[in-house]
Each structure stands twice: as C-alpha cells, then as structure tokens.
Amino acid sequence: MYSHEIDYKIIGEDIQIVEIELDPNETVIAEAGSMLFMEDGITFETKMGDGSQPDQGFLGKLLQAGSRVVMGESLFMTHFTNRGVGKRKVAFSAPYPGTIMPVNLANVYGNTLIVQKDAFLCAALGTKLSIQFNQRLGAGFFGGEGFILEKVQGDGMVFIHAGGVVIERTLNNETLRVDTGCVVGFEPSVNFDVQRAGGLRSMVFGGEGLFLATLRGSGKVWIQSMPISKLVQRLSPGGGQARKEGGSVLGQLGNLFED
C-alpha cells in the first residue's frame, strides 16, 4: 500500500506541534491522545492497527496491537481523515519539550527507520509500524531503552518526536558511541549494540552510566540531547544536584583507581 501524500508545517520552538494539511479522503495515523486540533470536515476513528494492510484479518490486527502494548504504547491508533470539500488541517502536539523530526521514508535506506519505542508521533496512512527486538546480548541485558525498538516502514512522511535538540549524523563505515537513552533512531544499515563504557574507574566514577550505545556501519543516525528519562531524573527533587555533588566526591576517590 502506497502512503498518502501529505503536506505539513512544524510550528514552535521548545514544545513543537506538527500541522498537517489533508486533501479530501487523505488520512494520517497518530498515537492516541496526541491530537491538538482539527478543522471541520476532519473525522477520526480509533482502530486496532495502523491501516497499512487493509485486508489484514482480525488475528493479524490483534497481534500488531499486542506488539504495541509490549512497546508501552496504546492498544489502538487514531486515524484522521478529511471527509470535507477542499483542504483541511489537523495538528498534533509533542508529549514533552523537544523536537518533531519529519522524515520522508522514501529517502531512507530500505524505506525503513528504526526508532526508540516512544518516538513515533504520527505518519501518513500506509506507514507500517512493528516491534523489533534488539538481538544483541549486551542490549538485552543492559540497554534499557535500546532493547525494544520500533520499526517504521513505508514510502511517505513520518513524524518522530525527540527530547531536546536533534542531531543528524551520517556514518561512513564508522563507529559512534552514544548515551543509551539519547539514540532517537537510525537506518537499518547501521548496527546497534550496547557495550561497556570503559575501564573500571570510568564505569564507576565517570557519571556517564555503565554502558553506552554503539552505532557502527554506514547510514544516518539521529541523536536527542535530552531524552524523557534524563529529563525526569534531572527534574526530580535533588536529582541533578545530588548527582553533581556525588560526582565531585566520587571523582576524587576515583583518582585512587587506574583504568
């Protein structure tokens, strides 16, 4: 199924929204509860599944919905369709401060994007969403955010939400090491793994966590500066200050160790 062609505009700075303009009978799918406003003529319907396979049976839709529950998402998705005459607009808001990243899947390797499980916001009808388990042993035991990923496939526009600022990097047979929670997404040509952060002193006293995500190969990678997990940690009472003070004391003790 070919994706619907949709026009869009990103509005805002810190907490962004995406405004999508639909021609008659065009449809956009979105996470439940993300709609901000819709003009007269737009109708919505909550469905089980993303609608990319209209002939899919009930069992197939149930399995797809079940995979969304594993990813921590809602069992259902909302389909917004322009049933009016002429163009109509519908807008979706980001769930927390950050950046909405528009990606044309037609320009992505294999028409596929691998993203963190909570990164998907909305997309043109025809986009297929499925679960992808990271098979790497390190990611399975230590990856946290990186163990269960979401595969987004299609040939149209998809909108991904990231925390803070988004950086796009293109790897050319290179390796990039990133905080495990800061990887937004990557092309399937890039290998993703979680590895030990370094020597004993770096792991215990470095303050960067025990493990880092390792991205290796050739392809595009998107990185977020402030994932929601880190934001919640910093906003918790004494979270940032306690870490800073602890890092100072432990940093001095760390001089007693060698890598």
42 phi, psi to nearest 5 deg: -85, 125
Give the per-residue pLDDT at 74: 57
Structural domains in the chain, CATH included, are: 7-240 (3.60.160.10)
- Residue 104's nearest CA partner among 92, 112, 95 is 112
pLDDT in tens, 216-249: 999 999 999 887 666 666 666 655 554 444 343 3
Give the per-residue pLDDT at 60: 52
pLDDT in tens, 23-82: 999 999 998 888 999 999 999 998 876 666 555 555 555 555 555 455 555 567 899 999
Threshold 0.85, pTM exceeds: no
For the residues 81-108, what does the mean pLDDT come to? 92
| CB-based burial label for 247 (10 Å; 0-12, 13-18, 19+) | middle
pLDDT in tens, 171-223: 999 999 988 788 999 999 999 887 766 555 544 554 455 678 889 999 999 99
